[in-house]
Amino acid sequence: MNEDNRNYVDPEISIICDANKLNDKGCVGAPDWIIEIVSPSSRKMDYYKKLFKYRTAEVREYWVVDPDRKIATVYEFEHDNMEECSFDEDLPLGVYERFTIRVQ
């Protein structure tokens, strides 16, 4: 996701809308949407380090799903927007118009 091809992060889920970004080694460039599932040991990495890395790499949307708090934090970088949503809400997905997901 950046010019340093020796250091990278490996998200739980990534969605790549442009098939031209894919090769036999994975995604070349930034995925459009990334989801990280928080665990006690990954909290600092997911909420701070990966957030910064994904934003600067031009990921379009980043979700941090926190099962302990039952909250998904949605960062829509293209619109400089962040919101926290509870698991009982339908979450609109910015990269796909009129598409929602309910996290449980």
Has this prediction a pTM greater than 0.75? yes
Report whether pLDDT(44) > 90. yes
Could you identify the residue written with the tokens 């998904």?
72
For the chain, state the CA radius of gyration.
14
| pLDDT, averaged across the chain | 89
pLDDT digits (tens, 9 = 90+) for 46-55: 999 999 999 9
Report whether pLDDT(89) > 60. yes
pLDDT at 1: 47
Phi, psi for 19 (deg, rounded to 5): -60, -20
pLDDT at 5: 57
Sorted by sequence, the CB contacts under 8 Å of residue 22 that are 6+ apart come out as 16, 28
Report whether pLDDT(27) > 70. yes
Question: Which of the 8 DSSP states describes residue 99?
Answer: -
Report whether pLDDT(36) > 90. yes
What span, in angstroms and rounded, lies between the C-alpha atoms of 32 and 12? 14
Q: State both tokens at 26.
A: 């994975």
Q: Coil, strand, or helix at residue 49?
A: helix
12 residue type, one letter: E
